[in-house]
Chains A and B, each alone.
Chain A
Amino acid sequence: MLKRITDCLRLKGLISESIKKPVFLFVFIALSNFITAQTDRHGIPAELKQQTVISEPSTMRKGFLRIGVIYSHSLLDKYFDENGQKMSYYGSSTSQGRTYAVSVEYGITDRLEADVSMSYANGFINSTQALDNLYFDTIITVYADIKTRGFGDLNFGFDYQIIKENSIMPSLTALTRVTIPTGEKNITDVKDEFNFNEPAGNGEFNASLDLLLKKIKYPFSFDLRIGAVYYFGGEKIFEPFEETKSFKTGTFIYIDGGINFNLNDWIALENEIAYHNFGRKEVDGEYKHDYIPWNISYNPKLNFQLKRFRLVECVTIPLSGKGENADPAYIFIIQYVF
């Protein structure tokens, strides 16, 4: 067939007899590249489902389904004040935020992925205060018990690979999400001002758009993401015995990037640095803070790829910030690709 192509080109006067051999070689190499690319593209699905976070593409392949369970654990001990100083919370409050979430990702095409996730919160804040009344010579200890239990808001969205990765260029993916406030938004079960249930839901719609660049250079991968979440506002009860107030969370802007690499064939370490700008929250038309809260965190992640199972351990370590928590949070994820 190659001979026929070169003969045809020669007959049409496009090439001379003297350059027939180099052209033949060039066409042969080009064809072999094409054939190799086809083989790679049609790899065995069972193997593709076992790819690590380093070598997998930014979106799920067509027909692949990934279900994950996510557990995150946080506590309140320190915070960055309005001057950026790391300070301790005072008082004896013990706080633990525990969230369980289920996520489903499905590859509609090799470039288009659908995502749905839902969370369940199970946290508490406990603290005590001693009230010493010298006039009546009495000391009263007030014990605060604030629980957060219930289903949170529903998130869904689509990811689309606008540009697929090639030997030079990284892939470019757009990630969209919409949050529907399905979780409880108001304070409930109010016994007194120190004993009530915090809502698990946020109480407002939001929509987000991220742009993700990813480049694989095995055993390394590099990624850079920029995104924003826009909140549409809502109404809810913030404090016990208070009326409903209108509110609107500030636009949340984030930039993160990482250099990730395989420690061996099935363990990968992701190193992510993230910047979060939380925007200014409005309550009853007034800004909650006179500054914009932000933070920078380092988020190392260990990924264990055990066949189609993936276990991920992540710690978010706040490095710097303003008006935000300064405590590390732990996240554990189990995923399976069907």
Chain B
Amino acid sequence: MRKRTAFFILIWIHIYLFAQQGQNSILLVERSVDRPLTVHKNQLQINAGYDFSMLSRRIDESGNIVNLSEAGIASAMHTFPLNIKYGILEFLEISAGTSYKKSGMRSEDYWTFSGSSKLHIQEINEHKGLEDMFMKMGLRLPFNLKSFDWSVSGSVTLPVAKYKPDKPDHEVILVEPVYDSYKFTYHYNNRFGTGVPTFKIRSAAKFRTERTAIIASADYFKPFSSGENIHWKSRRIYEEFEYTGLPYKYLPSQVISCSGAFTYQAIAWFSQYIIIDYYKIYGGWSELTGKRVANEKRNYMFISFGFEIQVSPYLRLSQLVELPGWGNNTDAPICFATNLSFNILTSK
């Protein structure tokens, strides 16, 4: 009898452990189209990646494409995003994230000739640093429907990132003393912080079939308040520059955006997707010029193509390319993004 009981307990433990493992792997290798709009209960997801953006075109206020290399501007941007999500309940997640960015916008060389003397002027606008950190809470339908899911989330960005520009590094070199010829290099050092707290609300709906899914979402972004920043004025004294930081007030623009993502699950571990994003940027003002001037209204739509691979139960790899669509008053970069997503269930 004891032997039989021991054997029964052994079998039961084995089944229990196996079932737990199965549940884990089912949740972590869930196909892209089957995933809910929030992470599962106790699921920890860490997303990190690298985005490279190349800016060679801009869309003007009439919607015409401007080739920036012909207009005398060149720019590239490197972004390293990081965000962490955790499922408190099966239908409630929290997340936080930020990204580190670097970009430089170079303007055309400007030569001025006057008699035998000449001036050579170069300018670069660098942006470098962390973006503000966001903290988000997302809620989805508390029951599982086979073909539909819906979520709503709210997030705040805290102005923890540096936002005031560092002193510029302007330089003047006397190139040819006889002809009184100089080379001026204007180098501005800007930051990516917003400087004011902001909030964003979002709602998304997911419709799915056996092999496809469509996610439609809408976002609204607004700053809580206006902020104060400084603008560096420079004055040349012989071969040195003297800088004065002039304060000015500003209010960041509001943004309404919507997105449609179509996913096709080709095989269990590979899915392809197409995303269309639309942004409308409006409102806000700046006193940079000494007078309060409204920010430019901008519209922008872009299309992204990408894929996701389930590398292992813990690791997902996705890549996408963003192509400029249409709009007005906006930059139109081409962006290549790679993201690694690490997923674990912290408790069974």
Contacts and interface: CB of A to CB of B under 8 A. Distances in A.
A237 to B, nearest CB: 25
B113 A132 contact: yes
A143 interface: yes
Contact of A91 (B71, B106, B112): B106
A324 B185 CA distance: 21
A264 interface: yes
Contact of B108 (A75, A92, A133): A92
B317 interface: yes
Contact of B76 (A77, A126, A302): A77
B54 A130 contact: no
B73 A92 contact: yes
Interface string B290-324: 00000000000000000001011001010100000
Contact of A92 (B76, B107, B311, B317): B107
Contacts of A128: 69-72, 108-109
Contacts of B212: none
B299 to A, nearest CB: 25
A89 interface: yes
A78 interface: yes
Interface residues of B, number: 36
B113 A135 contact: yes
Contacts of B312: 263-264
A154 to B, nearest CB: 31
A265 to B, nearest CB: 10
Contacts of A313: 319
B69 A127 contact: yes
A263 B315 contact: yes
Contacts of B68: 92, 94
Interface string A108-132: 0000000000000000001111111
B104 A92 contact: no
Contact of A131 (B107, B111, B315, B336): B111
A141 B78 CA distance: 30
A309 B115 CA distance: 65
A218 interface: no
Among A92, A129, A328, max chain B CB count under 10 A is at A92
A93 interface: yes
B83 interface: no
- Listed residue (B72, B78, B107, B312) with the most chain A CB atoms within 10 angstroms of its CB: B72
Interface in A246-305: 263-264, 267, 302, 304
Interface in B22-76: 50, 52, 54, 56, 68-74, 76
Contacts of A19: none
B266 to A, nearest CB: 12
Given A92-B74, A267-B309, A129 B104 contact: no
B110 A88 contact: no
B113 A90 contact: no
Interface in A206-240: none
A134 interface: yes
Given A91-B109, A129-B108, A75 B114 contact: no
Contacts of A93: 69, 74, 106
B108 A130 contact: yes
Contacts of B107: 92
Contact of B70 (A132, A143, A315): A143
A92 B72 contact: yes
A90 B114 contact: no
Nearest to B55: A94
A317 to B, nearest CB: 9
Contacts of A64: none
A129 to B, nearest CB: 4
B317 A90 contact: no
B56 A94 contact: yes
A100 interface: no
A330 interface: yes
B211 to A, nearest CB: 20
B108 A91 contact: yes
Given A77-B104, A130-B109, A263-B312, A94 B69 contact: yes
Contacts of A132: 110-113
Given A126-B69, A143-B70, A267-B309, A131 B113 contact: yes
Given A93-B106, A128-B108, A133-B112, 12 more contacts: A78-B104, A88-B126, A91-B106, A92-B69, A94-B68, A126-B69, A127-B109, A128-B69, A128-B72, A130-B111, A133-B113, A263-B315
17 contacts: A77-B104, A88-B106, A90-B124, A91-B106, A92-B69, A92-B109, A94-B69, A127-B74, A127-B109, A128-B69, A129-B110, A129-B111, A135-B113, A263-B311, A313-B319, A328-B78, A330-B52
Interface of A: 75, 77-78, 88-94, 126-135, 141, 143, 263-264, 267, 302, 304, 313, 315, 327-328, 330
